[in-house]
Amino acid sequence: MRHIISVLLENEAGALSRVVALFAARGYNIETLTVAPTEDATLSRMTIVTRGSDDVIEQITKHLNRLIEIVKVVDLTDGSHVERELMLIKVRAVGKEREEIKRTVDIFRGHIIDVTEKAYTIELTGDKSKLDAFIDSIDRASILETVRTGGSGIGRGERILKA
C-alpha cells in the first residue's frame, strides 16, 4: 500500500543521506522524496512517499525514528491528510493545439507560466492522481519535458507535526 511519511529532522549536512541510505540498505522503495527547511531554519521537513506491506512500513518508521538526527516521524496515511505535488510541464503548442491545451489547463486549474511561439510551460498543483490525469489528457507526443516535485503532505485539522 502507498504511504506518505512525514519526517521532521535536524537541518544538518548528511541527514538526508542517512535517510536515503536507510532505504537503500534495507531494500525499501522510495517513490518520491521532498525536503526543505521549515519556518525554524534548524529543522527540515521531509515527505517520503513509499510503498510496502504493513510490516515493511512499520520497520521503515521504526528505523527512521532510530536515526539520531530525526526528531519526529509520522505516517500521514494513518489519518486524514492533504497531499499536493507541483508539476512543471513543457508542451509543444502550435496551430490549433494551442487553444486545446489552454482549455485543458483551465479545466485542471493550472497556469501557463511561460509562452513561446512553439511551446507552453504549464504549472499544475494537485495530488498525484490529478497530475497523472493531466498527462493522460494531452497528446503524449506533444510533451517536451516534465518536472515533478514529488508529494508533500500535511495532516488535516488540528493534527500537527512539531518538534
Partner 1 sequence: MSLEMTGAEILVRCLADEGVEHVFGYPGGAVLYIYDAIYKQDKFQHILVRHEQAAIHAADAYSRSSGKIGVAIVTSGPGVTNAVTGLATAYMDSIPMVVISGQVPTHAIGQDAFQECDAIGITRPCVKHNFLVKDVRDLALTIKKAFYIASTGRPGPVLIDVPKDVSMLPCLYDYPKEIDMRSYKPIEKGHTGQIRKAVQMLLQAERPMIYAGGGVILADAAEELNQLVDRLGIPCTNTLMGLGGYRASSDKYVGMPGMHGTYEANLAMQNSDVLVAIGARFDDRVIGNTTHFASQQRKIIHIDIDPSSISKRVKVDVPIVGGVKEVLQEFHAQLDAANAKPNAAALSAWWKQINEWRQLECMSYEQSDTIIKPQYVIQKLWDVTKGDAFICSDVGQHQMWSAQYYPFDKPRRWFNSGGLGTMGVGLPFAMGVQLANPGATVACVTGEGSIQMNIQELATCKQYNFTPKIIMLNNGVLGMVRQWQRVDYDSRYSESYVDSLPDFHKLAESYGHVGIKVEKPADVEGALKEAFAMKDRLVFMNILTDPSENVWPMVKPGKGLTQMLLGSEDL
Interaction site with partner 1 (CB under 8 A): 9-10, 13-14, 17-18, 21, 25, 55, 58-59, 62-63, 65-66, 68-71, 163
* 54-66 helix and 15-25 helix, angle to the nearest 10 degrees: 150
Nearer to partner 1, 73 or 131 (CB): 73
CB of residue 10 to partner 1, shortest distance in Å = 5
Q: Which is nearer to partner 1, 13 or 160 (CB)?
A: 13
Least distance in angstroms from the C-beta of 83 to partner 1: 25
Q: Which is nearer to partner 1, 32 or 59 (CB)?
A: 59
Q: Which is nearer to partner 1, 107 or 163 (CB)?
A: 163
Q: What are the grid coordinates assigned to 1, written together?
A: 500500500
